[in-house]
Structure 1
Amino acid sequence: MVVIVVFAAARAVTTAFMLVLAAAQPENAWTAASPRYIDFASMWDGRWYNIIAVSGYPTVLPLTDDGHVGENAWAFMPVYPFVARIVMSLTGAEWALAAVGVSLAAGFGAALVTYRLFRERLDAGASLFGVVVFSVAPVSPLFQVAYAESLHLLLLAVALLLLLRRHYLLLIPVVVVMGFTRPSGLAFALLLVLHVGIRVIRRRQDPFARGDLAAATILAVVSGVVGLGWPASAWAVTGSITAYTDTELAWRSAYIGYQHLVPFTPWFQSLEWWTGSRWGWVVVVAIVIAFVAMMLSRPVRALGLDLRLWLASYALYLFAVFFPQSSTFRLLLPLFPLAAAIAVPRSRIYRVLVVAVSLVLQWGWLLIAWRVDGYDWTPP
């Protein structure tokens, strides 16, 4: 009950922030001036999910004037818009209300499961404050907008909890649904490969129960297949083997033009673009060093091996394929177990500061990424 109250209070604060911004929002590509909350909360990628819920996916990829694949619905996975469509059919609700409602309900579920997950490693007090951090995080408005992140985070929290409790077979359907909600299958497959490998090495200290090794191995394979499932689906429907990657690359063309996807190069390309010099690689190296130092810190080590393996696996996945821009903050949300690490120190002053800074950064994220300011190139 306390977790629900904490999450509800955080959502009330975020709602107040968003209502203030909505009242001052000029007319834009998605809404009229001063839109309703649900219209304001279903802008940006919410429109793509709306298109998918109503019309599905294109069988023919749209092309730009110079013959490249343009932005289209294949960049967005189907579970979230289809769940919202089911809610629309059952309740008669309009898209914006159904979509925001699904996200909010999933957010409450994610908060409850996250508390259970944190309790696997921390005491009740630290776990509860971890949920506070989770609830007021700078990108926590995603729990109440028409984006798939909230539903994905619920599934991810369930998946991590089942992994910690070693319910490998129960994990299979969760991984399948999660992998078609947001791109996560390959990162989770890497986590499972590392998990199984380390358990095999440490089998004397941590022996597998009967059948667990086979179940965990099957789970890792399933997760890897799921990770390739959406690109394969796009290929099957459109006839283009590169339909998914070409679609994803369309979004970064505004920065660096149309290029092939070469793993582990996007961060260097991005930071070179953002810094305007060839020395952007120095920033990339500094970010990598800072991440490694964080992973070795005492609060993060307190999370235990499996949660740290997830943090490393997902970070490596982002480093391999993602082109950093304003959406970077949103894509860091699956690193939410770090909220438990932030919750480890017990100082009241520290905890008040954490909440205050989080709320300030949340307001900043809404100003930079969510509010539409003319020709806006900072999408959330």
Structure 2
Amino acid sequence: MTPDTAPESVLERAATRRADEGRSRRATPAVRIAGIYLASRLVTTALFLLAARLSPSGSRFGPDADLATYVVAWDAQYYLRIASEGYPAELPLTAAGEVAQNAWAFMPFFPWAAGAAGWLLGSWAAGAVALAIVAGYLCCLVLRSILKPAIGETAALWAVVFFACAPLAAMFQLGYAEAPFLLLVLLGIRSVQRRQYGPLYAIIPTMAFTRPGVLAFALFLGLFGIHRWLNRSREPFARREALHILALAGIATLLGFSWQVIAGLVTGRDDAYLATELAWRRLWVGDAGGFVPFEGWPQAADYWFRSWGLDPVWGLVGLGLLVVAGGALLAFSPHVARLGPEIRLWAAAYLAYLLAVFLPQSSVFRILFPLSPLWGAVAAPRSLPWRLAVLAACLIGQWWWIWNMYGLGTEFWHIP
């Protein structure tokens, strides 16, 4: 090395070292989360294996069930059927002439994407698990990124821990569309947080054909637009941004009803999708006629309280108190407020959507999965004993869910 080139080489090495250090710092959260996520997946796998080992002969999947059995159980059977057979052109009917449960209740993106991955991995089940696992890890990364500005790095990582070990963490290893859908929701929230609306033109259509819920995102965008307008004095609300929000909310709304139109065109029945969804509702409340928004929760309150031998009037009172408590939590809880308006408005929109369309039953825990950003409120600056207690509760809840839904699966409330 000559003297005239030495200084340049030193400068180059220093610049390279700084770049490497910068890359290392940027990679640290991803590596930490990878460790958290891997450990949590090993725990979930162990719980599944334990459930299979303890499963009695009278369980739904039998005493010889294994991980491969559980991956394609319950609704995963419909996704597998969609990937292999597509959707029925003629709706199946029960002996009573009512529309039976069928594949039109499920959106096509996940089963087809799992099929594509399975073509490489050897089976649809392998593709579905790979898709769910990867989506779950990406969910953890995005969850941290949307929570860190509000609650800090440490609390955001604890939120990831709770999320990865939550009672519904099994969704990251099953043939269900929950993890990919939640990833799209989290990416959508992050886009709104950053006022970067371009990605939403791709996120929303994908979301619409992954699982039901894009109408909740449409409501979220509408509420967010109102919020931006009311707070325009503190943060300028440009016309371009307003047009993006209006356009995206409109697209999400149209796409939210598009599956009904598609099902009607293919089957020749305008009510094909709603009649299919009501086939599941009949398991709980019988034939209650057509779909009426906001009717499911009073029906469920009446059903459950009668099942428990209680006056159903108290069920309606409890439902009202539950709605008030949920609204108060989102509006007044300082830990929730700290998460920022985007997460709070998403939670409010999604809960309102559930009130409008859902019949509460044993699937309610899975249906609440898109509210996962609220783990940030649980993890927001708290003591270590609190966080360890929450983690223990998450793992206990995860075992309870896996054991009842997969290890047993024999009672009417053992449906995930």
Shift of 1:342: 0.4
Of residues 63-72 and 282-291 in structure 1, the stretch that sits farther from structure 2 once superposed is: 282-291
Q: Does 1:53 align with 2:83?
A: yes
Which amino acid counterpart does residue 46 of structure 1 have in structure 2? A
**Residues of 1 paired with 2:165 and 2:238: CA distance?**
39
What residue number does 2:270 align with?
241
Shift of 1:146: 0.8
What residue number does 2:40 align with?
10
- Judging changes above 3 Å, is the alpha-carbon distance between structure 1 residues 126 and 176 closer, same or farther for their aligned structure 2 residues? same
Q: Does 1:89 align with 2:113?
A: no
Q: 1:274 aligns with which of 297, 301, 304?
A: 304
- Judging changes above 3 Å, is the alpha-carbon distance between structure 1 residues 252 and 210 closer, same or farther for their aligned structure 2 residues? closer
Which amino acid counterpart does residue 193 of structure 1 have in structure 2? G
What residue number does 2:390 align with?
354
- Judging changes above 3 Å, is the alpha-carbon distance between structure 1 residues 101 and 228 closer, same or farther for their aligned structure 2 residues? same
**Residues of 2 paired with 1:115 and 1:69: CA distance?**
43
Of residues 28-37 and 305-314 in structure 1, the stretch that sits farther from structure 2 once superposed is: 28-37
**Residues of 2 paired with 1:113 and 1:28: CA distance?**
41
The answer for unaligned runs of 5 or more in structure 2 is 1-30
Q: Does 1:124 align with 2:153?
A: yes
Of residues 23-32 and 295-304 in structure 1, the stretch that sits farther from structure 2 once superposed is: 23-32
Shift of 1:362: 1.1
What residue number does 1:114 align with?
143
Q: 1:205 aligns with which of 214, 229, 234?
A: 234
- 1:52-111 per-residue CA deviation (whole Å, 9 max, x = no partner) reads 0100101101111111111000111111100011112233x1122221121111111111
The answer for unaligned runs of 5 or more in structure 1 is none
**Residues of 1 paired with 2:40 and 2:344: CA distance?**
26
Q: Partner of 2:40: helix, strand, or coil?
A: helix
Equivalent pair of 2:60/2:409 in contact (CA under 8 Å)? no
**Residues of 2 paired with 1:374 and 1:141: CA distance?**
19
Q: Does 1:310 align with 2:346?
A: yes
**Residues of 1 paired with 2:393 and 2:221: CA distance?**
34
Shift of 1:173: 0.7
Which amino acid counterpart does residue 285 of structure 1 have in structure 2? G
Which amino acid counterpart does residue 94 of structure 1 have in structure 2? S
Of residues 34-43 and 265-274 in structure 1, the stretch that sits farther from structure 2 once superposed is: 34-43
What residue number does 2:6 align with?
none
**Residues of 1 paired with 2:58 and 2:345: CA distance?**
42
**Residues of 2 paired with 1:278 and 1:132: CA distance?**
39
Q: Does 1:319 align with 2:355?
A: yes
- 1:189-242 per-residue CA deviation (whole Å, 9 max, x = no partner) reads 111111112212322222134622211211111111111121111112111111
Shift of 1:28: 8.0
- Judging changes above 3 Å, is the alpha-carbon distance between structure 1 residues 112 and 199 closer, same or farther for their aligned structure 2 residues? same
Equivalent pair of 1:24/1:34 in contact (CA under 8 Å)? no
What residue number does 1:19 align with?
49
1:179-194 correspondence runs (5 A): 179-194=208-223
Q: Does 1:291 align with 2:320?
A: no
Q: Partner of 1:168: helix, strand, or coil?
A: coil
What residue number does 1:261 align with?
291
- Judging changes above 3 Å, is the alpha-carbon distance between structure 1 residues 8 and 69 closer, same or farther for their aligned structure 2 residues? same
Q: Does 1:173 align with 2:173?
A: no
Which amino acid counterpart does residue 312 of structure 1 have in structure 2? A
Q: What RMSD over aligned residues (CA atoms) do the two structures have, in Å? A: 1.7
Equivalent pair of 2:119/2:127 in contact (CA under 8 Å)? no
Shift of 1:149: 0.3
Shift of 1:29: 9.6
Which amino acid counterpart does residue 256 of structure 2 have in structure 1? G
In the superposition, the TM-score normalised over structure 1's length comes to 0.96
In the superposition, the TM-score normalised over structure 2's length comes to 0.88
**Residues of 2 paired with 1:103 and 1:111: CA distance?**
12
Shift of 1:284: 0.7
- Judging changes above 3 Å, is the alpha-carbon distance between structure 1 residues 297 and 165 closer, same or farther for their aligned structure 2 residues? same
Which amino acid counterpart does residue 375 of structure 2 have in structure 1? A
What residue number does 1:344 align with?
380
Which amino acid counterpart does residue 70 of structure 1 have in structure 2? A
What residue number does 1:39 align with?
69
Q: Partner of 1:337: helix, strand, or coil?
A: helix
- Identity, in percent, stands at 38
